[in-house]
Amino acid sequence: MSSEIIHTSPSARDGGHSGAIKSVRLLSPNQIASSGMDRTVRLWKYSDQEKGITPQIEYYGHKGSVDSISVHGNRILSASADHTVGLWSTRKSESPAAPPNMLPTNSARSSKRRKLNSSVSTPQRGPLSMLKAHTAPVSAAIFDAKDSTVGYSTSWDHSLRTWDLVTATLVDTRTTSHSLLCVEHLPEHTLLAAGSAARHVTLIDPRASATTVSAMTLRGHSNAVVCLARDPDSTYGLLSGSHDGTCRIWDIRSTKTDTDGVVGESIYSISRNSVGEGKRVGGDGVKVFDVCWDKKVGIVSVGEDKVVQINRGEGVVPKAA
């Protein structure tokens, strides 16, 4: 197997992030969005011919680290440690000017950086709206899979919130018993899956008519569940990644009922190949940070072991009838 580094993200001097990058999403074959601890969201253009990425727009508006983003069409949703959700446009013409108080300060250091950047003039823009209701850091924000005018967000404040993105208003709040760290939409079943600090995945029905917050609980992880992905071949399949160093595959039809209600158990567990012999306590050194389930590539996971791991396998979850 051979590999090729096409391009690494530019440094702050070259118009890139000035802090650690926390989230990256592909908008199209030639557009990439990223966010980071420098409180910004950034849009990049990728050129296969030039084998590089160049900055297109810098977005300012958050007051804390932007820990997660999601994309749909020409819109970006961001989840920030400042307790807010940001909505942004990839179209420069419809994006408001960046708030002056959010732009880099006029310190001697930033003045020096601007001189180094004299040849770079990346447009700076602000949010279409900032959604405020959470009372703790927002861990994730996503678009409704069938209606991009609706958004969902999870937070350390134990809540999952539903937003009308057209009017920038809060529609509904579902409060759980634990901090929620990630969210994925299962539209065919009108459910939202939320990973929690309590080591399980909660399936939540966001409809106002729902009489209970938790429709089902998926148990099996031994540490916080921090990332989720849908099965590309089955409406019943779900993938979770955890700080316990494993990814688990779930079939939401595989359930039982106990004193806590409807409970699901994973049908398959994937450990980090880097573990070798023995088990790491609590996933120490091999925590899973993010996952992706692609129809062609397979299950991709990244973790604390600094490894991109790809697992392939067919027929793990039966296809929907």
How many Cα atoms occupy the beta-carbon half-sphere of 217 within 13 Å? 20
Q: For residue range 155-172, what is the model confidence (pLDDT) as tens digits?
A: 999 999 999 999 999 999
61-90+122-311, which class in CATH? mainly beta
Q: For residue range 253-295, what is the model confidence (pLDDT) as tens digits?
A: 998 888 778 899 999 999 998 876 666 777 889 999 999 999 9
d(CA 237, CA 201): 13
Please tell me the predicted confidence (pLDDT) of residue 234.
Answer: 94
Start-to-end CA distance of the chain, whole Å, equals 37
The number of angstroms, rounded, from the C-alpha of 308 to the middle of its chain's C-alpha atoms is 17
d(CA 8, CA 49): 15
Q: For residue range 66-92, what is the model confidence (pLDDT) as tens digits?
A: 999 999 999 999 999 999 999 999 999
How many Cα atoms occupy the beta-carbon half-sphere of 178 within 13 Å? 17
Dihedral angle computed from the Cα positions of residues 184, 186, 187 and 188, in that order, rounded to the nearest 10 degrees = 170
**pLDDT range class, residue 320, cuts 50, 70, 90:** very low
Q: How many other C-beta atoms are found inside a 10 Å radius of the C-beta of residue 128? A: 17
In the chain, where the domains are located = 61-90+122-311
d(CA 267, CA 296): 21
